[in-house]
Each structure stands twice: as C-alpha cells, then as structure tokens.
Chains A and B, each alone.
Chain A
C-alpha cells in the first residue's frame, strides 16, 4: 500500500473518529443532561431571587468577620518539608488566635487542593460561631441550629467526615439577618 493511500485512509479515520467522539456522543448527552439533572448540569447554582449568587459546590472567598470563613487557598503545592509551609501555618494560626480561636481546626490552617473546597469541618464551624453571634448580634443557639441544616457527611456519601457547606450556611445567615430585621424589633432590643 502506498504512503498516499495510507495517508488518505488515516485522514478518513481521523474525520470519522473526530465526529464520533466530539459530536455524536456529546450532543445526546448534553440533551439528556437537561432532562435528568438540569440543576447539576448547569453547575448546581444557588439563586437569591433571580440573581445567581454562587454554586452549592464551589467555595467563595469570605474575609468579613460577619461570615463563616472557609479553608485557605493559594499555596496548595507547598511541600511538607518546605519551611514556608510552617511559616504560613503559623501566620494563619496567629490570625485565628487574635480573632479569638485559641486552637483553630487543622482545615482552617491548611490550603485546600482545589482552592474552592466548599466545606469546613464541624469543629472549624463551631469555633467561628461565637464571633458570628457577636458580629451579627444573634443568639448563639440560633446559629448552632443552623449547622445541622448545612451539614453534609458520610451517610449521604458527600464527604468522609461530617462537614459544613460554608456558602449555603452564609446564605442562610444573611436570610436570618434580613428576616430578623423585618420581623422583629431592632437588634439592641433583642439583647
């Protein structure tokens, strides 16, 4: 068989397989996705009214003391032996200590792999509740009740340990605040 004939066959093969693996199988699956899991297919979006405020799966940056804060991001590739890792952890620990958390949970000190890990541990969430209660002038018990509502865990096969979804928790926190300002007397009166 001549080289030209072989090339010609190869070109036809490439065309066939490109159409097959890029178009023919992808399009039906896209269609099916809209039918069986329209919410997941488009990114598990969270809406407030008709505005998209985020995705249930993707963490957002929270630096305000009024919000539950998630895992640090930015240097996931620091080696275990790299002195910068210890420096970074020490700095994070002292930031938490000055915010009133004496022994911050490990997941608040160590970077997530994706940079958008949506979860923190139960311990990490509970450690932040006193601050949130203070900042938002809400009773601690009310915040504690929020945790189980935003907990995901091994039983649902969502996570290996019970964890809290930071973004949905914070959305609920905002709603709590807005409903308490509309329905109840101003904050100081609630003591």
Chain B
C-alpha cells in the first residue's frame, strides 16, 4: 500500500506545484516584469547579451531562430569533445586517458542533444574535469536549448513573434535551470549526495578487499540531470547508486523533479494562449496516460516474477534497490521514459515485460508529460492532427487557437511524426538483421529484440535510458545511435519552428458558432485516441515481438 500512497503523493505534488512554476515560466518567456528577479538579473543578462553581440531582438523567421541554435549547439560540442578526447591531467585524479574517438563522439552528441545515452562507465573513464566541463556543461545548455525551443513554438502557436534564441537560452539558464538546480542540489546534498572536488577514495574494506568510493561534485550534476530531463549518470548505476540517490526521500523528490518542468511548461502554454482550461485539459490528458503506465509498471513489478516462484515470493527485486522497492522503481521507469529524462533507479532490463511495454510505449509516444521544452511542441502537433481529423469528420474548417489548420500545418505535423519511426525502426531492423553478435544482446529471445529497439527508441526520443545489459560500447552502436540522436533532436526542432512560425503568420479569426472548441473533455478524448493510434500503432509490431511476446512466454 505504501508505494501506491507515496506515488500518489509525488504526483499530487507535481500537480500542486506545477502552476506556480508555470506562471514563472510564462513571466520569463513572455518578458513580463519579475520584480524579485529583475533587479539582480536584468543588468547581468543585458551585459552578457551585449558582450555576445546580440541585441536580443526577435527573429524574423523560423530560420532566424534556428541558425543561431544550430551554430551555438555545434560550438557547445567542441569543448566537450576536446575534453573527452584529451582528458588532461588537471582535476583528473585517477589519471584517465582520452576516450576512443567513436565513444567520445557518441557521448558528446548524446549529452548535447539532451539525451545522455551512455555507452561508457563514467566512474571508470571520466575525470572530474570531464564530468564538469563536458557533461555538466552540456546538460545545462541542452536543457536550456530544449526549453527555448518549447517556448518559441508556444509563442508561434499563440500568435506572438517567435523570439530570440540567445536571449531565450540565457533566460532559461539564469531564471529557471540554474536557480532550480542550485536549490535541488542543496537539498540532495543535505540528504547525503556528495559535493566535493576531493578525489574518489580508495579504501580497504572490513574484509581486507579494495573498494573505490566514486565521490565527486555529484549534487549539482544530479540536480540538472533530473530537472533538465537529461538523465546521464555521474556513475554508471545512475540513480540506483546511493551516492546519486541515497534515500527514499531523494528518490521521491527526484521523481518530482523529472516531472515538474514539463508539467509547468504545459501550464505556461495555457497562460500564453489565455486559455488555462485548454492547458489543464492537456495536462489531464498526459497525466492520465502517465497514470495508466505507472499503474501497469508498479503493478507488474510488485506482482513479481512467476518464474522464480519456487525460490522466493514478493516483488521483482532483481536489479533494484531495497530502499526504493519494486513499486517505486516501476513508477520511476514510467516517469523517466514519459518525461524523456532517461535516468534510472534500477535496471529496466531486469524489469517485468509489462514495465518494458510501458517504457517503450512512452518512448514511442514522446508526450507522456513531455520532455524538456520540445515535449509540449510534440503535444501541440498531436493536437493539430486531432483538430484536422475531427474537422474532417464533422465537416467544419479545422481551427486551433483562432487560426485555421491547413495543408502546410498538416504536412509539417505529419513529417514531424514520421521522423521518429524512421530513426527508430530502420536502424533497429538493420541491427537485428546483423545478428546478435552485432547487436550485442545479453538476453535471449524476444527480450533481445526489445533491447535493440529500446536503444534506438531511447536515442531518437530524447530519452537516454537503456536495457543496459546490451553490449553497446561498440563503433556500430556508437555511430548508428549518433545518427538517431542527431536526427531525433535537430530535425524535429527545425520542423517545429517552421510549423510554429507559419502558424503565427495566419490571420487570427474570431470564434464563430461553427468553430469546434478544443478546450472540451470530448475533444481531449479524441486527442488521446489520435495520440495512441498515430503515435503507438506505427510501433505495434515491435511491441508485439518484444515485450508482449516476452510477457506471454512468462505467463505460459
């Protein structure tokens, strides 16, 4: 009972705190006065923008927003890549050497794209300087880039000019991600997460063995990892490791932290379009999907593994930490894939098939409470398509937020939805065709199919978690997932900006009696159906071959 209660409390805390942060986000990205913040930050931000050489004016077009985004993201990769390839001696207490080129490239790309897929064991390959100067740096700027894009798209949908990328990125850092991360880091620190530049400590255990305590500046790393929907661990075990997630309390707060910014972004959308009923219904929609997934995963984990019944009873504790238990590890799996965080507090590989089904479903849909910034944009794409389909069904001109939905919007929306299956299914098919040596499967049968599909789905969906038994540290995996990481990140961003900028240029219409209202329960229900059909049906065959087949095997 306790896991269910704590899960309910955690999700209720998101619902209760979301609107306050939503208002803050609205004020930040709509340039409203924020007396308590402006006094300190305005002069600093203005000086920094001046020094960068940007007057902060809104871009004229989508490409005016996209170009600085692409250029700066390419440049962000440089210091990170250099640090990973070279790993100088400074702040590198264990003297790690540079990474192999394909691993360095994959790690840089995966952190730059806010995905944080890790094909390396950080505590055995990265010094403190690389953790801070490459990983932590990219976690902040990639989350900031995501938020900036999210609000640029929201501006477009609400008929406002699209904004200025440099300014948005700076503001998402100075007014959202940095203050929130500092607060969360302080909290985690008090709960036991290390924050030190002292080197990892080699100790002699009670039995005389050798053990390395992988301490470091973890608290801040952990905070931006959760809040920024990044998910890359300071250590390989990620949030299962007691230094990243030492107690039940930090586990619940970390679960909350994954959800809060996406939830607040949807709330802020409602404030932007002046219709909070609309955003509340969208929130209810994505939370409904999250609740279903969470209940399935928690239930499956608590029921345990029938294969092991002759030796033990109770929940499925394989690959899990006792302080979180089976149920809350299931909740985390649903939340981390729904929010595109990708942090894990237990091995998803060892989870029950229904939990893996939930996580894959979330990765395919990409909107179950949404990733950092870009998630709300995907949600709006699904809404556009729902508007279009319902318009066709009832024979009315499709309209959304006072603007007509016409051919260009539908074409862009369809393209955006097609990008995902292309970067998941094609490379997964190629890898599976190459046999299990190429794939590096650690588990046999249908679970092996899940391992491969999951890796690409996680890469293309901006997530980064994995079925980690997979031997993915090879050049094949590093290079092919890099394609999915880049394609799944920057192509949708470009298309979303183009869609939003085109939308804002359409003439605004007064609502007429013939307008189909989108802020009703019925329309939200239709959107849910569109989501499931368009988002998940494409992937149903691989779900059937992977987790569904595995579940049937276990049941028989």
Measured CB to CB, the residues of A under 8 A from B are 5-14, 16-18, 20-22, 25-26, 29-30, 32-33, 36-37, 40-45, 52-55, 57-58, 60-64, 67, 71, 76-83, 85-86, 89-90, 93, 104-107, 109-121, 152, 154, 157-161, 163, 167, 170-171, 174
Contacts and interface: CB of A to CB of B under 8 A. Distances in A.
Interface of B: 2-3, 6, 48, 51-54, 67-68, 71-72, 74-76, 78-79, 132-133, 136-137, 140-141, 144, 166, 169-170, 173, 178, 181-182, 185-186, 189-198, 201, 203-207, 209, 211, 213, 215, 217, 219-220, 237, 240-243, 246-249, 252, 305, 307-308, 311-325, 327-329, 344-347, 349-353, 442-447, 467-469, 550, 553-554
A33 to B, nearest CB: 4
Contacts of B220: 25-26, 29
Contact of B319 (A20, A76, A171): A76
16 contacts: A7-B75, A12-B52, A17-B170, A26-B220, A40-B192, A40-B193, A41-B194, A42-B198, A43-B194, A79-B447, A80-B316, A81-B307, A85-B307, A115-B237, A119-B323, A159-B322
Contacts of A60: 205-207, 209, 211
Nearest to B470: A77
Given A14-B76, A21-B140, A40 B319 contact: no
A7 B71 contact: yes
Contacts of B209: 60-61
Contact of A160 (B78, B178, B305, B325): B325
Nearest to A163: B322
B243 A36 contact: no
Contact of B194 (A42, A83, A107, A152): A42
A5 B350 CA distance: 51
A9 B68 CA distance: 9
Contacts of B2: 154, 160-161
B137 A22 contact: yes
Nearest to B253: A157
Contacts of A10: 68, 71-72, 74-75
Contacts of A55: 213, 242
A80 B213 contact: no
B312 to A, nearest CB: 4
B182 A160 contact: no
A158 B349 contact: no
Contacts of A76: 318-319, 346-347, 349-350
Contacts of B193: 40
A154 B554 CA distance: 32
Contacts of B240: 112-114
A105 to B, nearest CB: 8
Contacts of B76: 14, 17
A79 B350 contact: yes
Contacts of B311: 89-90, 93, 109
A50 to B, nearest CB: 13
A54 B445 contact: no
Given A85-B308, A113-B347, A43 B215 contact: yes
B206 A78 contact: no
Given A25-B178, A111-B350, 10 more contacts: A25-B220, A45-B201, A79-B349, A89-B308, A90-B311, A110-B316, A112-B320, A112-B322, A154-B2, A160-B325
A89 B215 CA distance: 32
Question: 3 closest A-B pairs (Cβ-Cβ)?
Answer: A77-B469, A113-B240, A159-B323
Nearest to A83: B444
A78 B318 contact: yes
Contacts of B211: 54, 58, 60-61
A106 B196 contact: no
Nearest to A62: B207
A67 B322 contact: no
B469 A79 contact: yes
Contact of B75 (A11, A40, A63, A107): A11
A157 B328 CA distance: 13
B190 A40 contact: yes
Given A25-B178, A37-B189, A58 B243 contact: yes
A6 B66 CA distance: 12
Nearest to B129: A22
Given A14-B72, A21-B140, A77-B467, A118 B132 contact: no
Nearest to B211: A60
Contacts of A43: 194, 196, 198, 201, 213, 215, 243
Nearest to A7: B71
Contact of B248 (A71, A110, A115, A157): A157
Contact of B71 (A6, A107, A161): A6
Nearest to A1: B67
A5 B318 CA distance: 55
A11 B54 CA distance: 12
A41 B188 CA distance: 10
A113 B248 contact: no
Contacts of A116: 237, 241-242
